[in-house]
């Protein structure tokens, strides 16, 4: 090649390179915008509408109809993720509907006793071919600053999104949450929190604060993935019942300080000890501890720090039972069942009035929600069946309750209620 031709070719490349560069930038921008549009379009294919109806609610639920969102995670099994407060935590009738489709009956397959998580199961044969599963982000990835869309049906506006960013992961209310300023309104609950960077579902919309704009929370997808994987493996994904409570002092927020012991067998552990490791794995929050112990693990070695001293102790754990398998007694409009949620002295009362129907015979006789049953006609009930038989075998019942006294506003006061029951049913 002659020197003239070489210089001429070089000049051509230099002149047209900027044009080529700007052309590539234009293509990138267009594709970026299309990608965001496609992400929301795909959300239409795995997000569902959910409505549930509860006649006899367990504690934490209310009687009546609830509406929210969910998203498909397994097409072959017909599994859908949502919030427990959307599906109900017990004997609820649940229906799901994909976009532009009719409602289909579903059942509650799993309810988490700590986190606001439920998995529904519908007939997979009724899922159209066009529907897809949500792509869950299962890897621990730093999400601070990630642009997201909270998808669902806010205030009845079906299949719509609100936009925001992830602030950070926070430990609040006994669990880890993703904090976001993407608006989460009634109807968004249970819907996917979607990364607008790659389209992955990084959380499940759970709650927002009406008085605080831009302060909303979602369940991290890493937790959802763990629960889902254990269910696939036919394992109980319920967390353990921890034998201690953690301190609520905000100055100790970054530490896992033991606030109180619920198990007298932990002789070497004292209030104020700080949990640092489980099986040599560093943990920072009680949620991390609970999630580590999900599955078949019933014992583990925990490391505690007391000043400069490190204590290691093997601790046995019990699992929460599957809440979908709970039985209950309906006593003249009062739902009585085991107390799995409230932190109480287990040596004193196993059964709780989870709800009481307004205007029912139980309501008229002074029985109300949240009372712990101590005895019935002098008998301490050791099983639901025994409680049922005791109630059935007596025309008049004398029930000793413990709870908040309406008459004098005394907390955990003993109360005796005597009356003649009319209808007692074991479910």
State both tokens at 111: 């309810």
Rounded CA separation 22/5 (Å): 27
State both tokens at 320: 């929460």
Can you give the pLDDT at residue 361?
96
CATH topology of domain 1-237: Thrombin, subunit H (2.40.10)
Q: What angle do CA 137, 140, 143 make, to 5 degrees?
A: 75
CATH of domain 240-319: 2.30.42.60
Rounded CA separation 131/43 (Å): 10
1-237 and 240-319, same CATH topology: no
Rounded CA separation 66/94 (Å): 9
Those residues with Cβ within 8 angstroms of residue 20's Cβ, 6 or more apart along the chain or in another chain:
none
Q: What is the pTM of this model?
A: 0.81
Can you give the pLDDT at residue 207?
86
Phi, psi angles (nearest 5°) of residue 37: -65, -40
Q: How many CB atoms lie within 10 A of CB 279?
A: 14
Assign domain 327-426 to its CATH superfamily: PDZ domain (2.30.42.10)
Residue whose tokens read 């209620």: 417
Can you give the pLDDT at residue 250?
55
Q: Is 333 left (phi over 0), alpha (psi -120 to 50) or beta?
A: left
Can you give the pLDDT at residue 30?
44
Cβ atoms of 326 and 338 closer than 8 Å: yes
Quick one: three-class SS letters along the chain?
CCHHHHHHHHHHHHHHHHHHHHHHHHHHHHHHHHHHHHHHHHHHHHEEEEEEEECCCCCCCCCEEEEEEEEEEECCCCEEEECHHHHCCCCEEEEEEECCCCCEEEEEEEECCCCCCEEEEECHHHCCCCCCCCCECCCCCCCCCCEEEEEECHHHCCCEEEEEEEEEEEEECCEEEEEECCCCCCCCCCCEEEECCCCCEEEEEEEECCCCCCCEEEEEHHHHHHHHHHHHCCCCCCCEECCEEECCCHHHCCCEEEEEECCCCCCCCCCCCEEEEECCEECCCHHHHHHHCCCCCCEEEEEEEECCEEEEEEEECEECCCHHHCCCEEECCEEEEECCCCCCCCCCCCEEEEEECCCCHHHHCCCCCCCEEEEECCECCCCHHHHHHHHHCCCCEEEEEEECCCCCCCCCEEEEEEECCCCEEEC
What b/e sequence results for 66-97 when a residue is b if at least 16 CB atoms lie within 10 Å of its CB, and e otherwise? bebbbbbbbeeebbbbbbbbbbbbbbbebbbe
- Radius of gyration (C-alpha) of the chain in whole angstroms: 27
Q: How many CB atoms lie within 10 A of CB 392?
A: 13
Widest CA span in the chain: 115
Rounded CA separation 230/373 (Å): 35
Those residues with Cβ within 8 angstroms of residue 139's Cβ, 6 or more apart along the chain or in another chain:
222
For the chain (427 residues), the mean pLDDT of every run of 10, in chain order, is 51 50 46 70 96 89 90 97 90 93 95 90 96 94 91 92 91 82 92 95 88 85 95 91 77 70 80 91 87 85 92 88 86 90 59 93 93 91 92 90 70 85 94
Cβ atoms of 314 and 301 closer than 8 Å: yes
Can you give the pLDDT at residue 385?
93
Domain definitions of the chain by residue range: 1-237, 240-319, 327-426
Closest C-alpha to 219, from 282, 292, 289, 170: 170
Sign, CA dihedral 356-358-359-365, equals positive
**37, 80, 197 from 28: Cα distances, Å:** 14, 35, 14
Can you give the pLDDT at residue 18?
54
């Amino acid at each position: 090649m002659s020197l003239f031709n070489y210089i001429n070719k070089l000049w051509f490349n230099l002149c047209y390179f900027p044009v080529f560069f700007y052309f590539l930038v234009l293509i990138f921008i267009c594709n970026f915008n299309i990608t965001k549009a496609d992400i929301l379009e795909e959300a239409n294919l795995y997000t569902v509408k959910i409505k549930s109806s509860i006649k006899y609610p367990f504690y934490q639920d209310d009687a009546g109809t609830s509406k929210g969102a969910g998203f498909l995670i397994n097409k072959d099994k017909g599994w859908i993720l949502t919030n427990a407060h959307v599906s109900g935590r017990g004997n609820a009738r649940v229906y799901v509907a994909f976009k532009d489709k009719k409602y289909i009956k579903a059942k509650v397959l799993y309810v988490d006793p700590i986190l606001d998580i439920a998995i529904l199961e519908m007939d997979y044969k009724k899922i159209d071919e066009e529907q897809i599963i949500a792509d869950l982000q299962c890897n621990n990835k730093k999400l601070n600053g990630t642009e997201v869309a909270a998808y669902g049906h806010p205030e009845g506006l079906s299949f719509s999104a609100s936009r925001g960013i992830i602030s950070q992961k926070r430990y609040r209310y006994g669990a880890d949450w993703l904090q976001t300023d993407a608006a989460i309104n009634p109807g968004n609950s249970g819907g996917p929190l979607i990364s607008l960077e790659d389209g992955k579902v990084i959380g499940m919309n759970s709650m927002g604060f009406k008085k605080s704009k831009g302060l909303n929370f979602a369940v991290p997808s890493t937790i959802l993935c763990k629960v889902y994987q254990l269910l696939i493996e036919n394992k109980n994904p319920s967390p353990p019942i921890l034998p201690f409570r953690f301190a609520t002092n905000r100055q100790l927020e970054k530490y896992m300080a033991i606030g109180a012991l619920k198990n007298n067998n932990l002789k070497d552990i004292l209030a104020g000890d700080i949990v640092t490791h489980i099986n040599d794995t560093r943990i920072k929050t009680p949620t991390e501890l609970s999630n580590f112990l999900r599955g078949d693990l019933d014992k583990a070695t925990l490391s505690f720090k007391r000043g400069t001293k490190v204590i290691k102790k093997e601790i046995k754990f019990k699992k929460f039972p599957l809440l979908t398998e709970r039985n209950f007694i309906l006593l003249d409009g009062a739902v009585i069942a085991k107390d799995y949620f409230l932190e109480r002295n287990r040596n004193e009362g196993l059964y709780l009035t989870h709800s009481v129907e307004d205007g029912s015979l139980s309501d008229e006789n002074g029985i109300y929600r949240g009372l712990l049953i101590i005895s019935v006609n002098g008998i301490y009930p050791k099983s639901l069946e025994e409680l049922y038989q005791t109630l059935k075998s007596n025309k008049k019942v004398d029930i000793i309750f413990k709870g908040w006294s309406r008459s004098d506003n005394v907390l955990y006061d003993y109360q005796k209620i005597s009356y003649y029951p009319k209808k007692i049913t074991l479910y």
